[in-house]
Amino acid sequence: MPEPAYRIAGLTKVYGEGRSAVHALRGVDLEIPKGEIVVLLGPSGSGKSTLLNIVGGLDRCSAGTVHFQGQNLTEMTDAQLTRYRRDHIGFVFQFYNLMPSLTAHENVELVTEIAANPMNPDDALAMVGLRERVDHFPAQMSGGEQQRVAIARAVAKQPDVLFCDEPTGALDSTTGRAVLQVLKDVNEKLGATVLIVTHAAAQAAMADRVIHFADGNVRDVVVNRKKMTPEEIEW
């Protein structure tokens, strides 16, 4: 197994207290290898999104450790977590979360302005196949196009890890496949670790590794010996 991007130990997340406490994560131990495409599968409430949020530096855990490049995320201050997201992490969301007041190009620039080692925004947009529509505002683009801008924005900083929460959730399957293709390209060209949380089990076919979640813990980890391209996936 290659060197891990994340080393997760005893990760626990409890919402609420006492009898009304909800255990979203129950002591997860997990290693996520560097440079792989990892798909997290599981029913709603199984804890996969909670894990993504904590590992992505958006939320804090109740107990446990998450090590990234030798640092423990769970001990970081808010400012350090911001720094971590800014320098290392790219996010892609189900609802794109673009800034409506900025063009596609500017949405990408939003990130390249503050990143440590950014790509040229045009290159990032070219990578997602949007060379032509860089001066359009989100309102002038389709959902798939908006999602590709969101991916361009996420990858333009050349992140170490790309987190994708239901990236195709709001898209039809054709558009969704195109988006997955972009994620695969980013993984191959930039060597970024890509973590995808999804309901669509079929998408696991493109992953290097599939992690199944159930009841707040990892049920099993399957290494995919026979990867398929997004083109070949049906869902």
Nearest CA to 11 among 211, 224, 223, 222?
Answer: 211
Decide: residue 231, CB within 10 A, 0-12 exposed, 13-18 middle, 19+ buried: exposed
Smallest gap from residue 148 Cβ to other proteins (A): 15
Stretch binding other proteins (CB under 8 A), from 65-73, 122-130, 149-157, 201-209: 149-157
Taking CB under 8 A as the criterion, which residues in 42-71 touch other proteins?
53, 56, 58-59
Nearer to other proteins, 118 or 230 (CB): 118
Smallest gap from residue 46 Cβ to other proteins (A): 16
Taking CB under 8 A as the criterion, which residues in 193-232 touch other proteins?
none
The yes or no reply on residue 82 touching other proteins (CB under 8 A) is yes
Nearer to other proteins, 142 or 229 (CB): 142
Stretch binding other proteins (CB under 8 A), from 100-108, 123-131, 192-200, 220-228: 100-108
The yes or no reply on residue 121 touching other proteins (CB under 8 A) is no
Helix (H, G, I), strand (E, B) or coil at 131: helix
The yes or no reply on residue 16 touching other proteins (CB under 8 A) is no
The yes or no reply on residue 15 touching other proteins (CB under 8 A) is no
Q: Cβ(116)–Cβ(87) under 8 Å?
A: yes
Question: Longest Cα pair distance anywhere in the chain, in angstroms?
Answer: 56
Task: Identify the residue whose tokens are 């440079």.
Answer: 35
Give me the amino acid identity at 166.
E
Q: What are phi and psi of 145, to 5 degrees?
A: -65, -40
CB atoms under 10 Å from CB of 30, counted, come to 19
The yes or no reply on residue 106 touching other proteins (CB under 8 A) is yes
Nearer to other proteins, 167 or 230 (CB): 167
Alpha helices in the chain (DSSP H): 48-55, 78-88, 104-112, 121-127, 143-155, 173-190
Give me the amino acid identity at 18.
G
Question: What residues line the site for other proteins (CB under 8 A)?
Answer: 53, 56, 58-59, 78-79, 82-83, 85-87, 89-91, 93, 95, 97-103, 106, 109-111, 113-115, 135-140, 146, 153-154, 157
